[in-house]
Structure 1
Amino acid sequence: MTTAPSRPAAPVTATTAATAVPVGGLPYLGSGIGYRTEIKDAIGSPGSGVDWLEVITEHYLFAPPDVRDVLHRLRRRFRVVPHGLELSIGAPREPSPRYVDALARLVDEIDAPWFSDHLCFTRAAGVALSTLTPLPRTREIAREVGRRAQRVQAAVGRPLILENVTYYINLESPLSEAQFIAEVMEHCECGLLLDLTNLDINARNHGYSAMEFLDTIPVERVVQVHLAGGTGGEDDRMDLDTHSEPVPPAVWDLLTELVARAPVRATLLERDQNFPDDFAELQEELDHARRILDGAGGPRAGVR
């Protein structure tokens, strides 16, 4: 992170700052689910309970026309938000201009209200790490990541929201995870995608308070929430973020607490494996998330 960027860094100016949109100005999407081929038929069925969809950015970024057509068909029925894995906002070098340009075209093509990626790095020295690697938590790195996020947001022309990641080794750092996130937000006008499952897992694995985490980060910047279920936590093993199980009660409790504090615009149910035979099980989780949002006084998105 302390090495020179691969191309000159554009300064954050009044023009770039103008691309930021206050959370309250963003559309309310409601209760959505991550689009996966295993559940595509159920998602598209009448009464699915799905308000909106999140798609993996890299599945479509440089995809052939027939794959992009799938995205266009989804867009005719749902609001669609791209969620990236390879922006690598915290890598030693600036994000690839080719990647950012393609991302801008994709976001514009589907008229996404925002786009998201992870507060981490996935590439170093030209090598793809194939994992969401957490960043060293220093003020210098937080400052550079914030400024870089602002530049990406300006280049794409839509709000960028950054997601907290799970980590299984907690190296000694000047800042806590929550302090680091808060410091990043001090240097950009981006939003937050708060993965409450990641928060719950990290808090239990590393022995900190999830409530103190919420007290520390700027919750007013939270645009969207991720909800999922993991495995582990028995026989002194760490809990794992597997996206393979129902959302646990502790995560629902965190969602209730969060929406009492912040104008959350959308929740997203993540399931990547171990899909239930009956989609009604996922529908109940979608409905549960929607009830919590509605209980906070949020406007209902149109149910499709």
Structure 2
Amino acid sequence: MLSGLPCLGSGLGYRPELAAAIGDHSDRIDWLEVITEHYLFEPGDQRETLLDLRRRCPIVPHGVELSLGAPEETAGRYLDALAQLVADVGAPWFSDHLSFTRAGDVALGTLVPLPRAREVAREVGHRAQAAQEAVGVPLLLENITYYLDLPAPLTEAQFITEVMEHCECGLLLDLTNLDVNARNHGYSPEEFLDSIPLERVVQVHLAGGEDDPAGAMALDTHAAPVPEQVWTLLSELVKRAPVRTTLLERDALFPEDFAELQADLDRARAVLLGAPGTRAGVV
């Protein structure tokens, strides 16, 4: 299912705070990623906004509540609504995180990392495959940041690889998350890339972060320009993986001048266009 996916180009995460700027600069934004849960059960103004966006450029839903590692299966009502959303916007894929976000009826309000064990990876892979089949287009799984690293049988890269052994899904590789985790937990991002199935990477997330005031930990804030070390990782990745698209995330401290975000969008597009292989689908 992954080999025929389109190359969307350089996209931006849609946030209401950016709506006016997106409208003014839509000719230089190749596609938009929207938060799935904002549109699942909102048939009114929210859905109309989404369909208006779809008339401007491709739309891809990115979720936070698939909760593949939760104790219980994903609710059929959620998957039915997600399949309808994907169909309504004609999305070529949808994405969510390798995490869990709820336990029973309790919403945890954060992306909780999964226990890195083979049996967990197997179960998550099976659930991801079931979700993909229910929705009808490829599911991309995203690596998350984690600040507490408990002892586990598998490394993060080994766990991701094991999950992919049990599903036919793709990977959404968040390079900022990779950079933050590598710095906080003392491993090499290059060795991480060496250890995961790069042929499954379809999309990349790019964002900015900061160091905590004490300087002891890197933080994934989505509130700053993309740092240089993340651009370096992107340049390395596109030489080795069939990356079809990049996505710039900004959730806070939005710049007054959209040119700051546009510069990152243009730079990401240039990296894609300069990668080996065919990029005919990139605009």
TM-score grouping bracket, smaller chain normalisation: over 0.9
Cα drift, residue 125 of structure 1: 3.0
- Per-residue CA deviations over 1:195-234 (Å, capped at 9, x if unaligned) read 0000000000000000010000001100100000011156
Structure 2 residue corresponding to 1:165, chosen from 138, 144, 148: 144
- For residues 239-266 of structure 1, the C-alpha deviation after alignment (integer angstroms, 9 at most, x for no partner) is 1111000000000000001100011011
Q: Please give the alpha-carbon distance, in whole angstroms, between the structure 1 residues aligned to 2:45 and 2:185.
A: 45
**Equivalent of residue 131 in structure 2, options 152, 170, 173:** 152
Shift of 1:44: 1.7
1:105 aligns with 2:81: no
Equivalent in 97, 102, 109 of residue 130 of structure 1 = 109
Equivalent residue for 1:55, pick from 26, 34, 49: 34
Contact 2:26 2:56 (C-alpha < 8 Å) held by counterparts = no
Alpha-carbon contact 1:53-1:80 (below 8 Å) kept: yes
**Which one of the candidate residues 201, 208, 222 is aligned to 1:222?**
201
Is 2:237 the counterpart of 1:252? no
Structure 1 residues 65 and 234: CA distance shift in structure 2, 3 A: closer
Query: Using the alignment, how far apart are the partners of 1:80 and 1:237 within structure 2?
Result: 38
Counting matched residue pairs gives 282
In the alignment, which residue of structure 2 is the partner of 1:72?
51
Q: 1:275 to 1:300 in 2, by over 3 A?
A: farther
Deviations 1:8-27 (CA, angstroms, capped at 9, x unpaired): xxxxxxxxxxxxx12x3100
Amino acid at match of 2:116: R
Contact 2:12 2:33 in 1 (8 A): yes
Q: Does 1:89 align with 2:68?
A: yes
> Secondary structure of 2:7's match?
coil
Q: Which residue of 2 aligns with 1:15?
A: none
Tell me the distance in 1 between the aligned counterparts of 2:210 and 2:69: 28
- The gaps in structure 1 that reach 5 residues or longer are 1-20
TM-score by length of 2: 0.97
* AA of the residue aligned to 2:21: A
What's the Cα RMSD here?
Answer: 1.2
C-alpha distance in structure 2 between counterparts of 1:301 and 1:55, whole Å:
21
Match of 1:139 in 2: 118
**TM-score, length-scaled by structure 1:** 0.90
Conservation of the 8 A alpha-carbon contact between 2:6 and 2:281: no
In 2, the alpha carbon distance for the partners of 1:296 and 1:107 equals 29
The amino acid across from 1:173 in the alignment is: A
Unaligned stretches of 5+ in structure 2? none
Structure with the larger RCO, 1 or 2 (CA within 8 Å, 6+ apart)? 1
* Mapped partners of 2:140, 2:280: distance in 1: 22
Task: Determine which of 253, 261, 275 is the counterpart of 1:282.
Answer: 261
